[in-house]
Amino acid sequence: MASQDWPGAPSRRTITGFSNPLVKFLRSLRDKKHRKRERRFLAEGLRLLTDARECGIVPEMLVMAIGRDPHPLLDALESAVVAAGGEVVEMDVEILAKVTGKDNPQAVAGVFAEFDTSLANLDRSAAPIWLVAQALRDPGNLGTMLRTGDAVGAGGLILIDDCADPFSVEAVRASMGAIFTQKLAIARWDEFTGWLRSGNGQLVAASLRDPTDYRQAPYAAPCFLMVGNESQGLPSAYEEACDLRVTIPMLGRADSLNAAVAGAVLAYEALAHLREG
């Protein structure tokens, strides 16, 4: 199903067969190649879709299981989709399981248009903290960083170089709705540094290269907190380009934290310092 065919779709329909072209289209959105072609992604679950609606974002297509339990939030979601000119589709729960790739799928899923992920879409003055991830490969970590950003009131998450796809089913699911509350940008390193240095912004790296203890660091807003790849960390040139390098003491046998966890620890510490200042 090509994206230009979307406007002609009926407002409501019921799907009962696995071979229906719409089912094949929905399943294809689990594949990055097809997501990029269609510029759409899947999100599932009433809570996640309700978070999106409360942020003013409704799916172009709402997919619901036949025989689902009634819920006022689901009614509100359906009304919002219809009012926005979207499509409502009902299908057997077994078919919905094929769409989402889960044996026990949520009773509702949605198809959303991908967001503008350009740096130009960001307002650095909108928040004191921003999260940055370089070459983050695990979609679960990516989703967790979005959740962390939401929790600390960050402006958003900037993905540098070759990161996991933030619009994958796994990353969207791990974000627990934060994909809709946080700004998201994707850029190469040179593009990011050019944008950052064109205005105010302190770039802080989690690093072992001549670092400052993360509890004593002089954070300044807007503060861009950067973590690197899960296994390789940040390239040395990237660390050297930072305004501040910080380290989190390890008191046990482990020599490092999970990348997303490290980002969360730094974000809360930076937030506390900025509030005190």
The confidence band for 103, taking pLDDT boundaries of 50, 70 and 90, is: low
Q: How many CA atoms lie within 13 A of 89 on its CB side?
A: 26
Specify the CATH number of the domain 3-113.
Answer: 3.30.1330.30
Mean pLDDT of 94-112: 83
Least confident range from 47-61, 99-113, 181-195: namely 99-113
The confidence band for 210, taking pLDDT boundaries of 50, 70 and 90, is: confident
Residue 3 pLDDT: 39
Mean pLDDT of 164-181: 94
Question: Residue 124 pLDDT > 50, yes or no?
Answer: yes
Q: State whether CATH 3.30.830.10 applies to domain 119-276.
A: no
Q: How far is CA 18 from CA 5, 95, 246, 270, in A?
A: 21, 6, 53, 50
> What 3-state class would DSSP assign to 87?
strand
Question: Residue 190 pLDDT > 90, yes or no?
Answer: yes
The string of pLDDT tens digits covering residues 241-270 is 999 999 887 676 655 667 899 899 999 999
Question: Residue 113 pLDDT > 90, yes or no?
Answer: yes
Residue 226 pLDDT: 96
Mean pLDDT of 223-243: 93
Residue 1 pLDDT: 44
- Among residues of the chain, what percentage have pLDDT more than 90? 73
CB 99 within 8 A of CB 63: yes
Rg (CA), the chain: 21
Residue 2 pLDDT: 39
Residue 254 pLDDT: 59
The confidence band for 4, taking pLDDT boundaries of 50, 70 and 90, is: very low
Question: Residue 135 pLDDT > 80, yes or no?
Answer: yes
**What ranges do the domains of the chain cover?**
3-113, 119-276
Token reading at 197: 């240095």
Question: Residue 6 pLDDT > 60, yes or no?
Answer: no
The string of pLDDT tens digits covering residues 73-102 is 999 999 999 999 999 999 998 998 888 877
Question: Residue 110 pLDDT > 70, yes or no?
Answer: yes
> Is the pTM here over 0.85, yes or no?
yes
How are the residues of the chain apportioned to helix, strand and coil, as percentages rounded to the nearest 5? 40, 20, 40
* Neighbouring C-beta atoms of residue 201, cutoff 10 Å: 17
Residue 277 pLDDT: 66
d(CA 94, CA 92): 5
Residue 182 pLDDT: 96
Question: Residue 5 pLDDT > 70, yes or no?
Answer: no
Mean pLDDT of 209-214: 84
Question: Residue 12 pLDDT > 50, yes or no?
Answer: yes
Question: Residue 8 pLDDT > 50, yes or no?
Answer: no
